[in-house]
Amino acid sequence: MKRKSTDRKYGKEFFLFLAIMMLTFGVVLRGQNFSQLKSTLIRMKPVYVGAALFLSVFFVAAEGCMICFLLRSVGIIVHVRQCVGYSFAGFFFSGITPSASGGQPMQLYYMKRDGIPLPEGTAVLMAVATAYKFVLAVVGMMILLFWQKLLKEHLGGYFFWYIVGLSLNVLLVILLLFVMLKPVLIRHLTEKIIVMAQKCGMKIPKEKWLEKLDGFLDGYRGTVLFFRDHKEKILILIVMTFVQRSSAFLLTFLVYLGFGLSGTAMYQILLLQAAIYVAVDMLPVPGAQGITEAMYGKVFLPVFSGQYLVPAMCVTRGVGFYLMLVIGALWVLKIHYKKIGSGRKKACTNA
């Protein structure tokens, strides 16, 4: 029954994702000359299309390699291909759910189904997530400190959203550190907030909320132990995460070269793409659709001038997000098809 409820929930979120996607496409392509758009896309050099595809697959697969690396470090032998599958599944469910909230729970579901113990799986995924947020927050702070003029010049009114996105990422990293290092304090503060809310007339089931919080804290307690016992592994994880993040920023520069453009420095394009990631990362919109395209159009207008802006956006988002989402969906369908097939085979055998 619980599984059916989860399927219905993700089904609704998937249709919401599709609705936002269609709206986004409608706004982006409105008033475009489709024959000119097609001819511009065709002119992109194939070698750079291939390189962009490679980077996109690398971005998702790299997370799988990190999961595999950490699982093996705690004595759980898994195949890299298996972990890359978890990564694509996480990408798919993160992409169709607000604030990417559905990725980790589904990754844990598939890992548990494959026999990976829940405590170790939870600790590994939380370590990967913490490293990701930490790297993004550090990159965002560095850009703000050293390239603030460039940011304000290119972001314009979206600079506000950059500050909001960066602040949320920094606050989340601080919260995660408190959760890992001071779980008792977090529980005590949460209990006080619930009591205050109840006194104000809000109907909050205290015990139910605290029970969920205890489960969450227990997961991070395992992550703390993992961090403590594998310090050198965590350093490697942070370096790997930085390389993974940088590959996503580099994608736009490859598209820039693919159209035969020049005049804008590589570092500038990387910084601007990183700024977009920081700004939209925490927004409660599936796949950060709409706002990502809007920011891309504003930020890269001076870079991809004239007829190249929309084609560049289509390639960057199409290859870097939508295509990876399709691959993730195909992986999920394949796993569920195998499960249904094995279930029918087992039923026939029992009969």
Return the minimum-mean-pLDDT range out of 46-60, 87-101, 234-248, 279-293.
Answer: 279-293
Which tops the pLDDT comparison, 306 or 174? 174
Mean pLDDT of 130-155: 90
Mean pLDDT across 188-209:
76
For range 151-159, the mean pLDDT: 88
Please give the share of the chain, as a percent, with pLDDT higher than 90.
24
Whether the predicted pLDDT of 349 surpasses 50: no
Write down the pLDDT at residue 201. 72
Round to the nearest angstrom and report the end-to-end CA distance of the chain. 24
pLDDT score of 347:
37
At 169, the amino acid letter reads N
Going by pLDDT thresholds of 50, 70 and 90, the confidence category of residue 135 is: very high
pLDDT digits (tens, 9 = 90+) for 95-124: 877 766 777 888 888 888 888 888 788 888
pLDDT at 92: 87
- pLDDT(322) > 70: yes
**How high is the pLDDT of residue 33?**
57
Helical spans, DSSP H, in the chain: 2-29, 34-42, 46-73, 80-96, 103-113, 118-146, 148-155, 159-181, 183-199, 206-229, 231-258, 266-280, 291-299, 309-317, 323-350
What phi, psi does 323 have (nearest 5°)? -65, -40
Task: Give residue 25's pLDDT band: very low, low, confident or very high (50, 70, 90).
Answer: low
pLDDT at 10 exceeding the cut of 60: no
pLDDT band at 1 (very low <50, low <70, confident <90, very high): very low
Query: Over 80: is that where the pLDDT of 69 sits?
Result: yes
Residue that wins the pLDDT comparison between 275 and 10? 275
Tokens of 286: 């599936």
- CA distances 31 to 38, 206, 285, 295, 316, Å, are 14, 53, 25, 19, 20
Of the ranges 24-38, 132-146, 299-313, 318-332, which is most confident?
132-146
- For 74-117, the DSSP string reads TT----HHHHHHHHHHHHHHHHHSGGGTTHHHHHHHHHHHTT--
Closest to 158 (Cα-Cα) out of 290, 299, 25, 285: 299
Between residues 55 and 95, the one the model is more confident about: 55
pLDDT for the residue numbered 253 = 94
SS3 304: coil
Tell me, what's the pLDDT at 63?
94
Write the pLDDT tens digit of every residue in 249-285: 999 999 999 999 888 899 999 999 999 999 888 777 6
In 3D space, the residue among 173, 143, 168, 85 whose CA is nearest the CA of residue 268 turns out to be 143
Burial of 322 from C-beta contacts in 10 A (0-12 / 13-18 / 19+): middle
